[in-house]
Amino acid sequence: MKAKNKITDFPFNRENPFKNQKQEDCLQIVKIIQSYQANKKDNEENYIHDAIDSDGKPIKIFHRTKYLSTTEYYNIYKQKVREQHKLSKSEVELLFYIASIIKSDTNHFFLIIEDAKEAMNYSGTAIYMALKGLLQKGIMVRGITNKDYYINPKYIFNKTEFSTNEIYEREQHT
């Protein structure tokens, strides 16, 4: 398969390919059996949950809620998104710019490169490279025109909270 080196190498989409996908589809469902509050501090609450995972196996969930300033929140969110999806700094910045312009009830948007350049203080080349990276990673797809795009709903956030999950599984010795 030929590498997609330009934005025009990505196909146009007449319909939204993400229309039947919801952000909730990305979450693993677990059944909480019992919860214990481990401790509470000024800006943090810690809980331990006995739960059943989606495969029916018993698991322990260590849950920490941290209350952050807006700056702390966005810095950590950007770091987690960048790590999780292996995004460049410019790709993360473009994703955040898109989140700032997109309406909350849709994943369709128009990207005007000149507006993005001004808002992000990036060159047009840097924005096009970031755009190409987001397209390559399946975070967004082209719509029916050069300025028309759809973003995968699992990458849109509600701007007030997010959750990260790490799973630690003990090695089984035989």
Instruction: Residue 47: give its domain's CATH number.
Output: 1.10.10.10
64: pLDDT strictly greater than 90: no
What pLDDT score does 23 carry? Answer: 47
pLDDT band at 72 (very low <50, low <70, confident <90, very high): confident
171 domain-assigned: no
18 domain-assigned: yes
172 domain-assigned: no
166 domain-assigned: no
Predicted structure pTM score: 0.66
What pLDDT score does 169 carry? Answer: 59
168 domain-assigned: no
Buried (b) or exposed (e) across 2-31, using 16+ Cβ within 10 A? eeeeeeeebeeeeebebeeeeeeeeeeeee
162 domain-assigned: no
174 domain-assigned: no
pLDDT band at 27 (very low <50, low <70, confident <90, very high): very low
22: pLDDT strictly greater than 60: no
Structural domain count of the chain = 1
Q: Under DSSP, is residue 142 helix (H, G, I), strand (E, B) or coil? A: strand
What pLDDT score does 164 carry? Answer: 59
53: pLDDT strictly greater than 80: no
What pLDDT score does 26 carry? Answer: 46
164 domain-assigned: no
> What domain range is 120 assigned to?
7-155
Percent of the chain exceeding pLDDT 70 equals: 80
Most confident option among 59-73, 86-100, 142-156: 86-100
Beta strands 58-66 and 140-142 are unpaired
